[in-house]
Amino acid sequence: MCDVLEHHNRDFSNYQDWYSNLCRHGAGQWVNGLYVPVAALANPLTIDFICTILDREDGWDAYNKWLYISDRLVTFVANKHENPLEVSYLTG
């Protein structure tokens, strides 16, 4: 996990903000027995996904980035991690 955070120049101090944003933007729900924000913050692949989207300079504002992140993470957990999030430095 630390390698992913270091790669994106982040640390665990970002977690509270990320948790709050996930809850506020629709991911604050139970899916397949997992609370999505907690499951997302415990998985290096989903941490990499969050950082990758937040780092993009594609014209999206923070609100729309968090809506997208939340939607994809709920789907990811609902599909029991079989639906890839998106290409990142971890998945090539």
3-state helix vs strand vs coil in the chain, percent to 5 = 60, 5, 35
Torsion sign across C-alpha atoms 31, 6, 20, 67: negative
Percent of the chain scored above 70 by pLDDT? 87
Q: pLDDT of 30-61, one tens digit each?
A: 999 999 999 999 999 999 999 999 999 989 99
Contact 46, 83 (CB under 8 A): no
Residue 84 pLDDT > 70, yes or no? Answer: no
| Segments making up each domain of the chain, as ranges | 2-78
